[in-house]
């Protein structure tokens, strides 16, 4: 089955700096890679996603890159703000966009 | 739309009791997912349904867990008998899957505590 590794597990950055979270996956058939943000006590919410036919996608301060050959994808947050503090999860979907494996999560702390 | 609805939001029960968690997906969505979240194991997919049919239940931990989706607007996850290690937050999520839209929408979760 699919194995998704995510690192780092915790990340502290100064407000205004960039944050990068990386994930690797094992199943070459995986074809959809979303990133979720989960604030304490709340539900995961999609912040950005990328499909296997695209190498990069950007939405304002958030970007995701995908390297299919190396089987890794990364989340980039620029100009971080205190409200970016949360746990971020990567995920890899296969099997018709239904079989999903999540990374263990990265706790991001943005220090004002 | 009210989004994905889950009930109860919190459940405290004693070991050995039956627990039933409920989920109402977003109207028009044809896929439904049940997840379990713990500190140790993170988010785990338990089972997913497509058009009310269970497609893959390989994530269900053992026979004590069962899930049903009798119609497009309702699903249940049952644990019988419950054990302390089942304590977790259980999320339900739904997805349209049409028009190239694969975003999952999560419900608020049910926090289960088994004592």
Q: Are A72 and A30 in contact (CB under 8 A)?
A: no
A105/B91 touch (CB, cutoff 8 Å), yes or no: no
Q: What is the pLDDT of residue B61?
A: 86
Compute the nearest-CA separation of B17 from chain A (Å). 25
Chain B residue with the nearest C-alpha to that of A44:
B106
Which residue from A46, A99, A101 is facing B104, i.e. has the nearest CB?
A: A46
Polymer length of chain A: 112
Q: What distance in Å separates the CA atoms of residue A6 and residue A29, rounded to the nearest whole number? A: 19
Q: Does B102 touch chain A (CB under 8 A)?
A: yes
- Residue A20: φ, ψ to 5°: -130, 130
Compute the nearest-CA separation of A26 from chain B (Å). 17
Does pLDDT of B1 surpass 70? no
pLDDT per residue as tens digits for the range A36-92: 999 999 999 999 999 888 899 999 999 999 999 999 999 999 999 999 999 999 999
Single out the residue of A102, A88, A86 nearest to residue A39, CA to CA: A86
Q: What is the pLDDT of residue A97?
A: 62
Q: Which residue did the predictor score with more confidence, B99 or B42?
A: B42
- Residue B102: φ, ψ to 5°: -115, 15
Chain A residue with the nearest C-alpha to that of B50:
A98
* A to B CB pairs, distance under 8 Å: 44
């Amino acid at each position: 089955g699919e194995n998704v590794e995510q690192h780092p597990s915790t990340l502290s950055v100064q407000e205004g700096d960039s944050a990068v979270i990386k994930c690797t996956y094992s199943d070459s058939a995986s074809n959809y890679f979303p990133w979720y943000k989960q604030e304490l006590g709340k539900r995961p919410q999609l912040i950005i996603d990328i499909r296997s036919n695209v190498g990069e996608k950007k939405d304002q301060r958030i970007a995701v890159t995908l390297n299919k050959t190396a089987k890794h994808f990364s989340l980039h947050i620029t100009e971080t703000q205190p409200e970016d503090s949360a746990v971020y999860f990567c995920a890899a979907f296969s099997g018709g966009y239904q079989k999903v494996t999540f990374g263990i999560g990265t706790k991001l702390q943005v220090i004002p | 739309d009210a989004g994905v609805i889950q009930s109860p939001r919190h459940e405290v029960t004693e070991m050995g009791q039956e627990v039933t968690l409920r989920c109402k997906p977003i109207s028009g969505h044809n896929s439904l997912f049940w997840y379990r979240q713990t500190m140790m194991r993170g988010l785990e997919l338990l089972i997913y349904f497509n058009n009310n049919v269970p497609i893959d239940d390989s994530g269900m931990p053992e026979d004590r867990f069962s899930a049903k989706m009798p119609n497009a607007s309702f699903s249940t996850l049952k644990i019988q008998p419950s054990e302390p290690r089942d304590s977790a937050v259980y999320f339900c999520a739904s997805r349209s899957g049409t028009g190239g839209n694969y975003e999952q929408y999560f419900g608020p979760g049910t926090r289960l505590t088994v004592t």
